[in-house]
Structure 1
Amino acid sequence: MRINRSDDYFANSTWKGTWKKDGGMLINQGIHLIDLFTWLMGNIKEVYGDITRNRKNKEIEDVAAGIVTFSNQAKGLIEANTITKPANLGYQLNIFAEKGTISIGGKGLQEIIHCYVEQHPELESELQSNATDEHLLMYKDFIEAIQKNRPPLVSAKESRKALETIFALYHSALKKQPVPLPLSAFSTEEMITWSKKGDEYND
């Protein structure tokens, strides 16, 4: 995730950029991409992460990196920032597997950059999507689930995976060591201490 969030973006609200109310850059801006990442790749065994902050007008990170070990021993990399100049570069998700490679990206994560899977040339056309407002589609599904008394397409249990992955990355940044999943407990308010230490280091 390589996007831009200006100083004005944080200045126009009292909650943005705070650990207590915002929750962090990965929670606010990166959650959807990490949700897709964990949904495609499966359960996570361990996360090693680090974060940094370059802007003084907020508490939260603006750069995050993580190394993820999945239960099947596959490895994943998380790289995210909100300091791309002068505007959003976009999003990208890459999968390098035994029998193929898929890369999707673009400003709205809607472009097929590369698609090769052994003996499945039809996948590239199947991956194409005209959907441009994923938030609207999610709200529609949730409302329909209530109206029809059915489970939503994404369960709370499935949603927890992305949140726990981000929490583990933050926790790892605090501990300076890999963090195993599942987590017993974590609050983004624990990161306020990290913010204060960061100010000391940058002065």
Structure 2
Amino acid sequence: MNFAIVGCGFIAKKHSQAIKNIEDAKLVAVCDQVPELMQPYVEEHDATPYTDIEEMLRNESIDIVNICTPSGSHAILAELAAKYGKHVIVEKPIAMTLEETDRIIGATQAQNVKLAVVHPNRFRPAAMKLKEVLQQNLLGKISHALCIVNWNRGQDYYDQAPWRGTKEYDGGVLMNQAIHNLDLLLWYMGAPEEVFSMEATRFRDIEAEDVSTGIIRFQSGALATVQASTTVYPRNYEESITIFGEKGTVKIGGANALHFETLNLQDMSDQLIETTIDQVRSNPWGKSGHEEIIADMIEAIREDRLPAITGEEGRKAVELVLAFYESAKLNKSVKMTERNDSNDNDQNKITKFTRKVEC
């Protein structure tokens, strides 16, 4: 199937490499308003460059459009792609507001095209093994969980582009960095019921938060603590998820949540535990999550089924982040069923930004 990439910044490189690695995939077009950013894809993939997205979308040979632009521009671009009958793969987060998210989901459903959201951490070997542990009920009843992302993103990272660190188009550490881990937490723990959060902008000269701490009560009754920051000196310190159950304790951790730091399970033999730890250690990254998601989209189209990570799945993580933001703003706990998405953006602002900065 033929792919097009919209937005040729850093993350587009992962998409293009994943497409290159898949036998049944070909990158045929790229779109960006900065021609020099498209040149590497023209040279390596023989992709046709476009500075006008609608001109690109009129290319009937394109099957799937990968949206790799700033988060605040995802909605208008996904809607356009769907309008032209293209299947859509959108980078995380799916959008910055629930209104935008629902527009994307609605547009793809109305045009009967597939929608997949890029949450690649689900495909890491340790993350998948922890999911198996939970599905097999090896932890028993869950007491609580810890979700930690203590990373370094210097001021130079935010100064790369004017949209970075803004509330409207990028978000802070929760929406941009920790959303991967929040997606995993929801995948493991189920639906949240209530949240409380505090946040601050301590070190970075940005509009959004660079440090956040929150608490979640899930519908199951289990609790979780979330700690996220981009203020750690001098490099990434920890990315981890720990789950405590009545029959076990499991922690996947390290600087990038790639290894089992703890795997204690009442109903798993010591030998099997050691084997599992060693298997993950021997190949901690596994196959690229982007490659898994793109290959799954191809199969989903051929089999006429839902992709592995749907728009609705992507929506859950955005809703949780927005609930944290609302709680921090109001300085009180927020029930998920009662919250107000006060961060919704005005459509004209999205369109104006999209036309100015990205295809």
Match of 1:17 in 2: 165
User: Which of 302, 308, 319 is 1:164 aligned to?
Assistant: 319
Q: Which shifted more, 76-85 or 134-143? A: 134-143
Give the letter for the 1:139 counterpart: I
Contact 2:158 2:164 in 1 (8 A): yes
Distance in 1 (CA, whole Å) between partners of 2:174 and 2:313 is: 17
Contact 1:112 1:124 in 2 (8 A): no
Q: By how many angstroms is 1:61 displaced?
A: 0.5
1:1-203 map, 5 Å? 1-55=149-203, 57-121=205-269, 122=272, 125-126=275-276, 128-129=279-280, 130=283, 131=286, 133-182=288-337, 183-187=339-343
Structure 1, unaligned runs of 5 or more: 190-203
Q: By how many angstroms is 1:149 displaced?
A: 3.0
Higher relative contact order (CA 8 A, sep 6+): 1
Partner secondary structure for residue 163 of structure 1: helix
Contact 1:24 1:188 in 2 (8 A): no
Q: Give 1 or 2: higher helix fraction.
A: 2
The structure-2 alpha-carbon separation of the partners of 1:108 and 1:156, relative to structure 1 and needing over 3 Å to count, comes to: same
Distance in 1 (CA, whole Å) between partners of 2:333 and 2:154 is: 31
The structure-2 alpha-carbon separation of the partners of 1:188 and 1:153, relative to structure 1 and needing over 3 Å to count, comes to: same
Root-mean-square deviation (Å): 2.1
Q: By how many angstroms is 1:146 displaced?
A: 3.3
Partner secondary structure for residue 205 of structure 2: coil
Query: In percent, how many aligned pairs have the same letter?
Result: 34
Q: By how many angstroms is 1:156 displaced?
A: 2.1
Contact 2:238 2:256 in 1 (8 A): yes
Distance in 2 (CA, whole Å) between partners of 1:184 and 1:57 is: 28
Q: By how many angstroms is 1:187 displaced?
A: 1.7
Distance in 2 (CA, whole Å) between partners of 1:125 and 1:134 is: 23
Distance in 2 (CA, whole Å) between partners of 1:26 and 1:73 is: 23
Contact 2:192 2:219 in 1 (8 A): yes
Distance in 2 (CA, whole Å) between partners of 1:136 and 1:90 is: 25
TM-score by length of 2: 0.49
TM-score by length of 1: 0.85
Partner secondary structure for residue 57 of structure 1: coil
Distance in 1 (CA, whole Å) between partners of 2:293 and 2:150 is: 23
User: How many residues were matched structurally?
Assistant: 190
